[in-house]
Copies of this chain bind each other. A is one copy, B any other.
């Protein structure tokens, strides 16, 4: 049975064109980019070219505003911790929406131990940040405010330019986690008014273990990891040449293909949503319109998400869930609670994120499997 993979937000196959471009840097084109010998210069050029490509994707004003990290988690950590500590004179306050990724929330919580206040900005039932609340919460003492470009569990795209306006009126820097949005919808840090932007290599179609952080020129930062001073001192460690070249190529391809591919995926997504919602007591989570083109997320009443994931797998389909039962802490998804779902409701979540291998032809198979799954699990539920 051919499998249908619908968890691209968690992990994506690397684009074959990316592999072609980056593989030589694992085997032949190897050398220390800080060294002046031939291999070192080649490595250094490759890194700077990749930096330029990532900068282009988000219209950064300066290639040097991009630093490469080990992934989105680390970028988020630098953006929160590094910005807060380096700008401590602004004030000991940070703010973040209630639907940030845990790699924003947890470093923020860690800063609370050092006396920082951590304010949460609520969202509405569709996951859109409450602009009035934002305006009330952010103050001149807020060194960094973090808002996700588009949430990974519910797909809602935030009104970043408006948010940037408020943050810059009231507080200091706006950090935006664009892990899931980049390469799917057009991002322009200058137009959008973004000071810090998190990017993931794998979510662009590049390798795992690589990410980037855009830092607007002039924004002061301090590192989270200390060492040899690579990446302008903000991310020490020998450069992951394969990862960097791969991420650069992925950014280039994403820029070139985005429009067409996003339209294609949005078509599949819309059909999938329309058909899934014909299932009894099935609901969309997140925004019906302002959502990522590759993202469809649902909840089914009276059943639980891990069981949904396991059963869908039996039909050959890989989906994600925000169920408490699959989380490390066995806690309900903070995102689903933030949009106002009750614990029982948050349990029955199913998330499908599309990618290159997905086709319109797969939709009926996915819907049939979901229908069967729901039927089975409802047959044994006491609720």
Question: Residues on A close to B: CB < 8 A?
Answer: 3, 5, 7, 10-14, 16, 19, 26-28, 30-32, 34-40, 43, 70-74, 76-77, 101-103, 106-107, 109-110, 202, 207-210, 224-229, 233, 236-243, 306, 309-310, 312-313, 317-320, 326, 328-329
Q: Which of B37, B107, B210 contacts A7 (CB 8 A)?
A: B37
Assuming the contacts A73-B227, A309-B37, asked whether A31 and B318 have C-beta atoms less than 8 A apart, the reply is yes
Given A12-B30, A37-B319, A107-B227, output 9 extra A-B contacts at Cβ < 8 Å. Answer: A7-B37, A13-B28, A19-B26, A37-B318, A70-B71, A71-B240, A74-B237, A103-B228, A103-B237
Residues of the B chain whose Cβ atoms lie less than 8 Å from the Cβ of A12: 30
Closest to A39 in B: B318
A202 with B238: CB separation less than 8 A:
yes
Q: Which of B40, B210, B237 contacts A318 (CB 8 A)?
A: B40
B227 with A224: CB separation less than 8 A:
no
Residues of the B chain whose Cβ atoms lie less than 8 Å from the Cβ of A14: 26-27
10 A-B pairs whose Cβ atoms sit less than 8 Å apart in the complex: A5-B31, A10-B31, A13-B27, A13-B28, A36-B313, A71-B240, A102-B229, A103-B228, A106-B236, A209-B240
Q: Which of B5, B31, B34 contacts A328 (CB 8 A)?
A: B34
Residues of the B chain whose Cβ atoms lie less than 8 Å from the Cβ of A10: 31-32, 34-35, 238
The 8 closest A-B pairs by CB, nearest first: A209-B240, A103-B227, A70-B70, A10-B32, A106-B226, A73-B237, A37-B318, A37-B313
Q: Which residue, of A36, A39, A40, A237, has the highest number of chain B Cβ atoms within 10 A?
A: A237
A73 with B236: CB separation less than 8 A:
yes
Assuming the contacts A28-B13, A102-B228, asked whether A208 and B74 have C-beta atoms less than 8 A apart, the reply is no
Closest to A307 in B: B36
Residues of the B chain whose Cβ atoms lie less than 8 Å from the Cβ of A243: 208-209
| Docked pose: A269 CA to B211 CA in angstroms | 38
Residues of the B chain whose Cβ atoms lie less than 8 Å from the Cβ of A309: 35-37
Assuming the contacts A107-B226, A242-B209, asked whether A30 and B11 have C-beta atoms less than 8 A apart, the reply is yes
A227 with B328: CB separation less than 8 A:
no
A210 with B209: CB separation less than 8 A:
yes
B229 with A329: CB separation less than 8 A:
yes
| Docked pose: A77 CA to B77 CA in angstroms | 15
Residues of the B chain whose Cβ atoms lie less than 8 Å from the Cβ of A326: 34-36
| Docked pose: A12 CA to B39 CA in angstroms | 11
| Docked pose: A7 CA to B320 CA in angstroms | 44
Residues of the B chain whose Cβ atoms lie less than 8 Å from the Cβ of A38: 3, 313, 318
Residues of the B chain whose Cβ atoms lie less than 8 Å from the Cβ of A106: 226-227, 236
Chain B's nearest CB lies how many Å from the CB of A325? 10
| Docked pose: A233 CA to B103 CA in angstroms | 12
